[in-house]
């Protein structure tokens, strides 16, 4: 019987000769990741278990990205826990101040996660790295502690569902629109504990930024991981960044799938996810007249340079509506520098935007753009639950950078073709 790419990667990280969905396995981990919210708990559990040294100082990576620059005393204390542990353990990869970026954009950019890797992170959007052809999934802080100690974790091998994307994309349709459309079709539990494997002729024409966006949001459909078969696009991205060897895996022609979803992308228009769920999607033509107060363009989902270029292309020579707060958050220092060199920051400033240093900030209701009661925001983030970005009476609408930029200009939810 053939195997999926997910099954092959998991098997290669065990001593097993055979592996199939439903099995409980122990597997070696290539990268273990934590941030300033989740890692302090993992460090506490690590010490409770008698830990004195991590399994591999090259493979444990801690990124203080949620509340940095620190917004208050509590967040400063959280980050100090990470800093002290990094120094104590002499971890190879250390991020502070001007080197800190949003973890799920930073690690691929720095070549720290690679095709064929098995990656766990104490953050649900660790699944982002599946865009590279890696098995990547989120875990709890206690699981992270165990991995820091042993270098291994237990997994239940997920069933796989194949998402076949074919056809040509309409203008302004991006990876964000594709994943919102798919989540809208299958629901927030439509891929519960499954691997979402993306394939089809459309994929070859998608850049890495779109693939990262799609893999990032599979958790919003309940998936265990999302994954793309690596190809020439993947290799071009990885070759100039990789710090160690990598390996490409693919799925066998006779691999078994729990389900197959066929998607004709030519029928998809820009999407908007209405609150309170990422699955509550509508095409832009069905949105209606919805006045907004804030637009956030950034996050681990859509804060890459490709996303900022799209936004800047629409904002150039225009301004955000007077009643709209436009917040731009480059995902990493590298993205920030590229945006500066390309003149994008000047465009954003001329559009009356606030430009933030890299941070998760408003995505989780942390800071840098909290909503008051009754306010509405369009955001390129990944979740729009009740109270996600501030007051429980506020509303978050998820969309692509193109829709977000157009909405900022018009002061209402709108697509670029409305400009």
pLDDT tens figures, 295-336: 999 999 999 999 999 999 999 999 999 999 999 999 999 999
3-class state of residue 109 by DSSP: helix
- Residue 402 has what pLDDT? 98
- Return the percentage of the chain with pLDDT > 70, whole number: 100
- Contacts by 135-138 with C-beta closer than 8 Å and gap 24+? 135/6, 135/9, 135/10, 135/13, 135/225, 135/227, 136/215, 136/225, 137/224, 137/225, 138/219
Q: Cβ(149)–Cβ(128) under 8 Å? A: no
Q: Is the pLDDT of residue 338 over 90?
A: yes
Q: CA 301 to CA 216: how far, in whole Å?
A: 6
What's phi and psi for 171, nearest 5 deg?
A: -60, 140
Q: Is the pLDDT of residue 1 over 90?
A: no
H/E stretch holding 33 reads strand 31-35
Q: CA 165 to CA 261: how far, in whole Å?
A: 9
For the stretch 79-129, pLDDT in tens is 999 999 999 999 999 998 899 999 999 999 999 999 999 999 999 999 999
Q: Cβ(308)–Cβ(328) under 8 Å? A: yes
Q: b/e per residue, 111-125, with b = 16+ CB within 10 A?
A: bbbbbbbbbbbbbeb
Instruction: With CA atoms as reference, report the closest residue to 224 among 10, 2, 3.
Output: 10
Q: What is the mean pLDDT of residues 2-27?
A: 96
Q: What is the mean pLDDT of residues 65-80?
A: 93
Q: CA 204 to CA 151: how far, in whole Å?
A: 34
Q: Do you know the residue count of the chain? A: 419
- Residue 237 has what pLDDT? 98
- Residue 228 has what pLDDT? 98
Q: CA 78 to CA 80: how far, in whole Å?
A: 5
Q: Is the pLDDT of residue 352 over 90?
A: yes
Computed over every residue of the chain, the mean pLDDT equals 97
Instruction: With CA atoms as reference, report the closest residue to 9 among 232, 190, 158.
Output: 158
Q: Cβ(167)–Cβ(200) under 8 Å? A: no
- Ordered domains of the chain (ranges, CATH): 5-263 (3.30.499.10), 273-413 (3.30.499.10)
Question: How far, rounded to the nearest angstrom, does the alpha carbon of residue 263 sit from its chain's CA centroid?
Answer: 22
CA dihedral 331, 368, 213, 139 (to 10 degrees): 100
For the stretch 29-47, pLDDT in tens is 999 999 999 999 999 999 9
- Residue 362 has what pLDDT? 95
Instruction: With CA atoms as reference, report the closest residue to 220 among 190, 264, 263.
Output: 190
Question: 208-216 and 175-186 helices cross at what angle (nearest 10)?
Answer: 30
Angle CA(210)–CA(213)–CA(216) in degrees, nearest 5? 150
Q: What is the mean pLDDT of residues 132-146?
A: 97
Q: CA 416 to CA 407: how far, in whole Å?
A: 8
For the stretch 264-297, pLDDT in tens is 999 999 999 999 999 999 999 999 999 999 999 9
- Residue 122 has what pLDDT? 97
Strand 24-28, strand 152-156: pairing: antiparallel
Calculate the alpha carbon distances from 415 to 216, 268, 322, 386 in Å.
23, 13, 19, 24
Token pair recorded at residue 238? 């990885």
- With cut-offs at 50, 70 and 90, classify the pLDDT of residue 170: very high
Q: What is the mean pLDDT of residues 343-359?
A: 98
């Amino acid at each position: 019987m053939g195997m999926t790419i997910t099954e092959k990667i998991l098997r290669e990280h065990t001593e097993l000769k055979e592996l199939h969905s439903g099995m409980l396995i122990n597997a070696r981990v290539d990268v273990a990741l934590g941030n300033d919210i989740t890692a302090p708990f993992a460090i506490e559990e690590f010490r409770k278990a008698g830990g004195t040294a991590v399994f591999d100082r090259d493979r444990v990576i801690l990124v203080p990205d949620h509340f940095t620059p620190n917004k208050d005393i509590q967040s400063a204390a959280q980050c100090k826990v990470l800093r002290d542990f990094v120094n104590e353990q002499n971890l190879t990869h250390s991020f502070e101040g001007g080197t800190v970026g949003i973890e799920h954009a930073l690690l691929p950019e720095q070549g720290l996660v690679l095709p064929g890797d098995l990656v766990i992170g104490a953050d649900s959007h660790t699944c982002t790295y599946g865009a590279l052809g890696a098995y990547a999934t989120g875990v709890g802080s206690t699981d992270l502690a165990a991995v820091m100690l042993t270098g291994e974790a237990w997994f239940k091998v997920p069933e796989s569902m194949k998402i076949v994307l074919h056809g040509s994309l309409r203008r302004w349709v991006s990876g964000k629109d594709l994943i919102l459309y798919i989540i809208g079709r299958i629901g927030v539990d439509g891929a519960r504990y499954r691997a979402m494997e993306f394939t089809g002729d459309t994929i070859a024409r998608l850049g890495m930024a779109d693939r990262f966006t799609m893999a990032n949001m599979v958790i919003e459909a309940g998936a265990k991981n999302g994954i793309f078969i690596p190809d020439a696009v993947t290799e071009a991205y990885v070759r100039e960044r990789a710090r160690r060897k990598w390996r490409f895996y693919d799925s066998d022609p006779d691999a078994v799938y729990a389900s197959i979803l066929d998607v004709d992308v030519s029928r998809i228009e820009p999407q908007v996810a209405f609150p309170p769920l990422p699955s509550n999607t509508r095409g832009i033509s069905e949105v209606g007249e919805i006045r907004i107060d804030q637009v956030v363009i950034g996050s681990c989902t859509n804060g890459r340079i490709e996303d900022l270029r799209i936004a800047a292309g629409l904002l150039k020579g225009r301004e955000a509506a007077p009643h709209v707060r436009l917040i731009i958050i480059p995902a990493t220092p590298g993205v920030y520098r590229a945006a500066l060199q390309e003149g994008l920051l000047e465009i954003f400033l001329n559009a009356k935007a606030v430009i933030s240093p890299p941070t998760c900030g408003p995505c989780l209701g942390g800071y840098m753009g909290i909503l008051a009661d009754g306010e509405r925001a369009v955001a390129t983030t990944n979740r729009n639950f009740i109270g996600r970005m501030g007051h429980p009476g506020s509303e978050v609408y998820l969309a692509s950078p193109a829709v977000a930029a157009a909405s900022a200009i018009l002061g209402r939810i709108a697509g670029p073709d409305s400009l």
